[in-house]
Chain A
Amino acid sequence: MRLVILDDYDLASEWAAKYIRNRIVQFKPSADRFFTLGLPTGSTPYGCYQKLIEYYRHGDISFKYVKTFNMDEYVGLPRAHPESYHSYMWNNFFKHIDIDPANAHILDGNAQNLEEECQAYEQKIAEAGGIELFVGGIGPDGHIAFNEPGSSLVSRTRVKTLAKDTIVANARFFGNDLSKVPTMALTVGVGTVMDAKEVMILITGAHKAFALYKAIEEGVNHMWTVSAFQQHPRTIFVCDEDATLELRVKTVKYFKGLMHVHNKLVDPVLSIKDQ
């Protein structure tokens, strides 16, 4: 894996956004060859989305030939609800860029048949040629997407019941009223994300530090599902200092020492204006 450590949240968000930008620009997507991007929601990737919007506004990147697949969505929450992941993606990303609405895929938590919806989603990913780069986050309980502790590490897109930790963590978005937080969600499986050509996990903040430690310094374990990516050929973890607080000094020193290598991935930062 690559462990990229930046000083703070803003720098980590920027590094991640530059990486995504370079990958898309280098790929040279076109009408015959779309760039498929897996996307997360939540407070962690917010800064990264802001940077990507900025790059789009300056004309350095276009999402015209990008297909996106979000990781998850709540079950039973009206799509127009301000806390649905559809709302999050519209307000924080889609409405600011030039993506074709037909290419922005999010699981429908209000589908008549949830299982069919999940299978159809896997189908859509396959038809798009698989995911080129899957961007994700990590929960305080070490989950990727809504693959809660105990999820199969080869799981596919399916309905999951949320763990107590997750519900508590999400309560702040529902007026701190636990009864208002959805209890089920549709989520891509660990296996679904493992199928991507490349995976980038964003982890910021001290409250994620223990989960990061479990994910990369202990073994592969279905109780900390992000640990599955130890077995992926191309994973990048992008974090801030605070997220490394539970790691061994040796680990942090080693990867900080590699920053000059990591930075070659984002410097120079590429633009479609130069193509």
Chain B
Amino acid sequence: MPSNKSVSDAPITQFINCRILRDNELQREDLWVREGRILDPEKLFFDEQGYADKRVDCGGSIIAPGFIDVQINGGYGIDFSQASEDVSDGVSFVAKKILEHGVTSFCPTLVTSPPEVYHKVLPQVKVHDGGPHGAGVLGFHLEGPFISAEKKGAHPEKYLRTFKSGGLEHLMEVYGSLDDVAIVTLAPELPGSQSVVRELSQRGITVSLGHSAADLSQAEEAVQQGASFITHLFNAMLPFHHRDPGIVGLLTSDRIPAGRVVYYGMIADGIHTNPAALRIAHRAHPSGLVLVTDAITAMGLPPGRHTLGQQVIEIQGLHAYVAGTKTLSGSIATMDMCVRHFKQVSGCSVQEALEAASLHPAQLLGISPKKGKLDYGSDADLVLLDEGLNVKATYISGEEETGPPVPLYMIDMSGF
């Protein structure tokens, strides 16, 4: 009698012979799952006199919470910023594929685009749980168009915007709807941005600073208004200067409101940031580091020319450039590659590397401990990794809106 009918007769899975990431360390413990959540086995034993229906031998693997990618523009030929009729299909396609990289939740990212694109794309994709169909969508990340012309990077200049009077209304006109938006990246030096930052934060939307030429005090002002993230630190912002560290200075600023943390995205693909710079950021503020892929359409595709937003880019090896230039246009690294690279160049522990891809993004979005942790009651989104942090299997569970609870669904990487 594995489960007590008066509590639940759903099947119980016990992962044995594994090391789990819990309480900021790797513990040699079994992991128990029922109805898509991590189960407390001691309560099961004493309260329900229950035990496992099914045991999964992990062969000594590490089990971490599923990775969360808060900046991903597409992949496998799909470009989220393309205004098409079947955006939802494209997002689902990528959602399915990134499970192979250990990503169980993500924020589909739209680069600077004209209003028509936002009006067409945003309504087609809702926030939803992951499952056998793919990783869960946590909401869009809207990167632009309210960014600095000087720091546009690969974003198309003609669609950049400033805040007209009535900041938030103007933003709503451009985007159309904020219902399924999780993050907005903007440049805080734009006039009128401070009230926008405040109002977006109050609506529960994460405000991120990026593609900006702001100085440190402008950035600090934005943080005080509610901004909590920095989009790909170092890239598309003023470089660190010892008399005005700019946005980078937020990592060690003493004007962050008490109890709040400023998180910062890092593309740890070995290309966007010099390893020494990555180490400086990590050592200055380790608990804020959030690994992002900033992956573009071409991720997962062979070398050549592909479309991103309204522009064309070119793949050369591991680099992706705006076609005809040497401007980086995004990365084609996968999240698990970023985790491995980050650990290798920073010399951090396995636990820190894994938390940068799971716990920290969950904390950033305010969805911890439901996501990003393996606490009792947390969602059972899991990634099994070997010693070298290669993905061996991804487990994802969730509930379909109209159906019965979905049993634990596994993607086996043993063939990769």
Q: Which residues of A contact B (CB under 8 A)?
A: 79-80, 86-87, 90-91, 94-95, 100-102, 104, 106
For B41, the chain A residues whose CB sits under 8 A away are 90, 95
From DSSP, what is the main secondary structure of chain A's interface residues? helix
B321 at the binding interface (Cβ < 8 Å): no
> Given A101-B50, A101-B51, are A94 and B43 also a contact pair (CB < 8 Å)?
no
Q: Which residues of A contact B42 (CB under 8 A)?
A: 80, 86-87, 90-91, 95
**Distance between Cα atoms of A100 and B51 in the complex (Å):** 8
Q: Hey, which chain B residues are within 8 Å of A104, CB to CB?
A: 45
- Residues of A with C-beta under 8 A to B44: 101
Q: Which residues of A contact B45 (CB under 8 A)?
A: 90, 94-95, 101, 104
In the bound complex, what is the Cα–Cα distance between A87 and B40 (angstroms)? 12
Task: State whether A90 touches B46 (Cβ < 8 A).
Answer: yes
A248 and B159 alpha carbons, distance in the complex (Å): 95
Smallest CB gap from A90: residue in B = B42
Q: Mark B50-65, 1 if CB is under 8 A from A, else 0.
A: 1100000000000000
Q: Give the residues in chain B near A94, CB-CB below 8 Å.
A: 45
3 closest A-B pairs by CB: A101-B49, A102-B49, A90-B42
- Tell me the complex Cα distance, A70–B43, Å: 18
Q: How far is the CB of B115 from chain A (nearest CB, A)?
A: 53
Beta-carbon nearest neighbor of A102 in chain B: B49
In the docked arrangement, what's the CA distance between A220 and B51, Å?
44
Could you list 21 examples of A-B contacts with CB < 8 Å?
A80-B42, A86-B42, A86-B46, A87-B42, A90-B41, A90-B42, A90-B45, A90-B46, A95-B41, A95-B42, A100-B49, A101-B44, A101-B45, A101-B46, A101-B48, A101-B49, A101-B51, A102-B1, A102-B49, A104-B45, A106-B46
Chain B: residues with CB nearer than 8 A to chain A? 1, 30, 41-46, 48-51
Q: Which residues of A contact B1 (CB under 8 A)?
A: 102
Chain A nearest CB, measured from B200 CB (Å) = 40
Expressed in whole angstroms, the Cα–Cα distance for A106 and B43 within the complex equals: 14
Complex-state Cα separation, A35 to B323, whole angstroms: 77
Q: Which residue of A lies closest to B30 (CB)?
A: A95
Residues of B within 8 A of A87 (CB): 42
What's the minimum C-beta distance from A34 to chain B, rounded to whole angstroms? 16
How far is it, in angstroms, between the C-alpha of A16 and the C-alpha of B279 when the chains are bound?
53
Number of A-B contacts (CB under 8 A): 29
Interface centre among A79, A91, A100, A101 (most CB of B within 10 A): A101
Q: A90-B42, A100-B49, A106-B46 given; name 5 further pairs at CB < 8 Å.
A: A90-B41, A90-B46, A101-B45, A101-B50, A104-B45
Q: How far is the CA of A1 from the CA of B1 in the complex (A)?
A: 42
> In whole angstroms, what is the CA distance A80 to B44 when docked?
12
**In the complex, A48→B97 CA distance in Å?**
49
A79 touches B46 (CB 8 A): yes
The answer to whether B51 and A80 have CB atoms under 8 Å apart is no
Tell me, in angstroms, the Cα distance from A101 to B46 when the chains sit together: 7
Q: How far is the CB of B213 from chain A (nearest CB, A)?
A: 52
CB B170 to nearest CB in A, in angstroms, measures 52
Separation in Å of the A57 CB from the closest CB of chain B?
A: 11
Closest partner residue, chain A, to B49 (CB atom): A101
A103 — nearest CB in chain B belongs to which residue? B49
Chain A residue nearest to B48 in the complex (CB): A101
- Look across to chain B and name the residue whose beta carbon is closest to the beta carbon of A96: B30
B49: A residues at CB distance < 8 A: 100-102
A101 and B42 alpha carbons, distance in the complex (Å): 10
Cα distance A100–B45 in the bound complex, in angstroms: 9
The residue on B at minimum CB distance from A108 is B46
> Please, which residue of chain B has its CB at the minimum distance from the CB of A94?
B45
Q: Is the CB of B30 within 8 A of A80?
A: no
Residues of B near A79 (CB, < 8 A) are: 46
Point out the residues of chain A lying under 8 angstroms from B48, CB to CB: 101
Residues of A within 8 A of B46 (CB): 79, 86, 90, 101, 106
Q: Give the shortest distance, in Å, between B8 (CB) and chain A (any CB).
A: 15
Chain A residues lying within 8 Å of B50, measured Cβ to Cβ, are: 101
Q: How far is the CA of A94 from the CA of B45 in the complex (A)?
A: 9
C-alpha spacing A79/B304, complex, angstroms: 62
CB-defined contacts of A106 to chain B, threshold 8 Å:
46
- Shortest A92–chain B CB gap in Å is 12
How many Å lie between the Cα of A76 and that of B43 in the bound state? 17
Count chain A CB atoms within 10 A of each CB in B41, B44, B45, B48 and give the residue with the most.
Answer: B45
Kindly provide the distance from the CB of A180 to the nearest chain B CB, expressed in whole angstroms: 21
- Find the B residue at minimum CB distance from A91: B42
Task: Please measure, in the bound complex, the distance between the C-alpha atom of A90 and the C-alpha atom of B42, giving whole angstroms.
Answer: 7
- For residue A56, give the distance in angstroms from its CB to the closest CB of chain B: 14
Q: Within the complex, what minimum Cβ distance (angstroms) separates B81 from chain A?
A: 49
Q: Give the CA-CA distance A91 to B29 in the complex, in Å.
A: 10
Contacts of B43 in A (CB 8 A): 80
Tell me which of B30, B48, B51 has the highest count of chain A C-beta atoms within 10 A of its own C-beta.
B51
Rounded to whole angstroms, the CA-CA distance of A91 and B50 in the bound complex is 16
B contact residues around A101 at 8 Å (CB):
44-46, 48-51
How far, in angstroms, from A87 to B42 measured CA to CA in the complex? 8
Report the minimal beta-carbon distance from A25 to chain B, rounded to whole angstroms: 23
* Residues of the B chain whose Cβ atoms lie less than 8 Å from the Cβ of A100: 49, 51
In angstroms, how far is the closest chain A Cβ from the Cβ of B340? 32
Q: Which residues of B contact A91 (CB under 8 A)?
A: 42
Closest residue to A79 on the B side, CB-wise?
B46
Q: Which residue of A lies closest to B4 (CB)?
A: A101
Q: What's the minimum C-beta distance from A217 to chain B, rounded to whole angstroms?
A: 41
Q: How far is the CA of A273 from the CA of B42 in the complex (A)?
A: 30
With CB as the reference atom, state the residue of chain A lying closest to B376. Answer: A80
CA distance A74 to B46 in the complex (A): 16
- Chain A residue contacts of B30, Cβ below 8 A: 95
Determine the residue in chain A with the shortest Cβ distance to B44.
A101
Chain A's closest residue to B46 (CB) is: A86
